[in-house]
């Protein structure tokens, strides 16, 4: 199996296993699916954390308004009673005014927060350090875990305008958000290795040879952004080890310089003729006027 260490810029994303005979187009399709799937999991986890603290999202025409403005405009959240959490709500006001404040109780909140931690762990970037590959199945498992937890806490479902529901239904609208800049669709996704684009229509072996036991660092790039920066010749960890080696070497040289100091030769204990002078009575002789 060929192992791809997928990066976006200089930041590690995940490990992915494939074969040298795999078409580049298929590899790009799968890498893009995992890459965008991980982003979706992160977005949902962020929203579920808000859901656990402040309840479901208010209708768009009520978001950001004060209570006085809502009363003055005679607005009403018709989903407030329909989408109540299991075990009854606990009121926690959302200072931003984005959610209705009817949050789940502590027991249900624990269900959401624990599931968020488990889902994040499945697709975490630390999986690269642990040498664990991320697959489409793992991304799907993380999404299923999150969907199940939301269904437990909100058996009646979430409002159609809630971003968590739109994410689960693949109806999310990311236009105008920072998240939209991170997504790379399959059509605009490119893979680069050794400062060369892996072109569609070819196989992986056309670029890396036929050795299956190969590990590559490939970079995901959006079409039209040009070639990504090349990988440094040494990794950050290797650079740290080199600096430690040079530091230890300098300390050793300092100690050697100190060891070469011959000032000790002026001491009595280092004088080879001291015993002879003692027998001759020539010790402790002082020169000078009386």
Q: What is the mean pLDDT of residues 142-167?
A: 95
Would the pLDDT of 286 be above 70?
Answer: no
Would the pLDDT of 233 be above 80?
Answer: no
pLDDT the model gives residue 176: 87
| HEC-encoded secondary structure of 116-129 | HHHHHHHHCHHHCC
| pTM over 0.85, yes/no | no
Give the Cα separation of 5 and 15 in Å (integer). 5
pLDDT the model gives residue 76: 86
Strands, E, within 99-149: which ranges? 102-104
Name the band, by pLDDT with cuts 50, 70 and 90, for residue 290. Answer: low
Name the band, by pLDDT with cuts 50, 70 and 90, for residue 81. Answer: confident
pLDDT the model gives residue 234: 64
Would the pLDDT of 262 be above 80?
Answer: no
pLDDT the model gives residue 255: 80
Q: What is the mean pLDDT of residues 228-236?
A: 70
**112-121, 231-240, 267-276: least confident range:** 267-276
pLDDT the model gives residue 230: 74
DSSP 145: H
Q: How far is CA 127 from CA 1, 115, 232, 272, in A?
A: 18, 18, 22, 68
Would the pLDDT of 265 be above 60?
Answer: no
State the sign of the Cα–Cα–Cα–Cα dihedral 12, 16, 113, 172. Answer: positive
Higher pLDDT, 266 or 276: 276
Pair 2, 19: CB distance under 8 Å: yes
pLDDT the model gives residue 269: 58
Q: What is the mean pLDDT of residues 114-127?
A: 95
Give the Cα separation of 212 and 208 in Å (integer). 9
Higher pLDDT, 67 or 200: 200
- Span 172-194, pLDDT tens digits: 999 888 999 999 999 999 999 98
Would the pLDDT of 235 be above 70?
Answer: no
Q: What percent of the chain has pLDDT over 90?
A: 61
Scanning the structure block, which residue is given the tokens 């310089």? 257
Give the Cα separation of 218 and 179 in Å (integer). 22
Supply φ then ψ for residue 139, to 5 degrees: -65, -45
Tell me the average pLDDT of the chain.
88
pLDDT the model gives residue 281: 66
pLDDT the model gives residue 66: 83
| HEC-encoded secondary structure of 237-270 | HHHHHHHHHHHHHHHHHHHHHHHCCCHHHHCHHH
Would the pLDDT of 171 be above 70?
Answer: yes
Name the band, by pLDDT with cuts 50, 70 and 90, for residue 71. Answer: confident
Name the band, by pLDDT with cuts 50, 70 and 90, for residue 65. Answer: confident
Name the band, by pLDDT with cuts 50, 70 and 90, for residue 130. Answer: very high
DSSP 96: T
Higher pLDDT, 55 or 251: 55
Would the pLDDT of 284 be above 70?
Answer: no
pLDDT the model gives residue 261: 57
Which tokens sit at 19?
């074969």
Pair 5, 217: CB distance under 8 Å: yes
């Amino acid at each position: 199996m060929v192992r791809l260490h997928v990066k976006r810029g200089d930041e590690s994303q995940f490990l992915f296993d494939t074969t040298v005979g795999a078409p580049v187009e298929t590899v790009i399709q799968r890498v893009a699916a995992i890459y965008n799937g991980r982003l979706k999991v992160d977005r949902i986890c962020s929203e579920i954390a808000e859901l656990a603290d402040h309840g479901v999202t208010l209708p768009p025409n009520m978001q950001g308004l004060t209570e006085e403005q809502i009363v003055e405009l005679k607005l009403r959240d018709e989903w407030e009673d329909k989408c109540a959490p299991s075990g009854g709500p606990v009121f926690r006001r959302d200072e931003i005014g984005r959610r209705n404040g009817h949050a789940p109780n502590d027991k249900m909140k624990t269900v959401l927060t624990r599931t968020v931690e488990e889902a994040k762990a499945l697709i975490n970037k630390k999986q690269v350090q642990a040498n664990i590959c991320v697959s489409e199945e793992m991304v799907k498992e993380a999404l299923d875990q999150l969907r199940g937890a939301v269904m437990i806490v909100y058996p009646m479902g979430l409002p159609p305008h809630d971003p968590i529901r739109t994410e689960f239904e693949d109806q999310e609208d990311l236009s105008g958000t920072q998240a939209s800049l991170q997504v790379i669709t399959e059509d605009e996704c490119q893979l680069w290795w050794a400062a060369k684009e892996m072109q569609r229509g070819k196989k992986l072996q056309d670029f890396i040879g036929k050795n299956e036991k190969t590990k590559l660092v490939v970079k995901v790039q959006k079409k039209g952004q040009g070639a990504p920066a090349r990988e440094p010749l040494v990794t950050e960890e290797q650079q740290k080890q080199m600096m430690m080696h040079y530091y230890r070497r300098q300390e050793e040289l300092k100690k050697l310089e100190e060891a070469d100091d011959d000032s000790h030769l002026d001491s009595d204990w280092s004088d080879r003729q001291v015993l002879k002078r003692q027998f001759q009575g020539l010790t402790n002789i002082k020169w000078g006027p009386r």
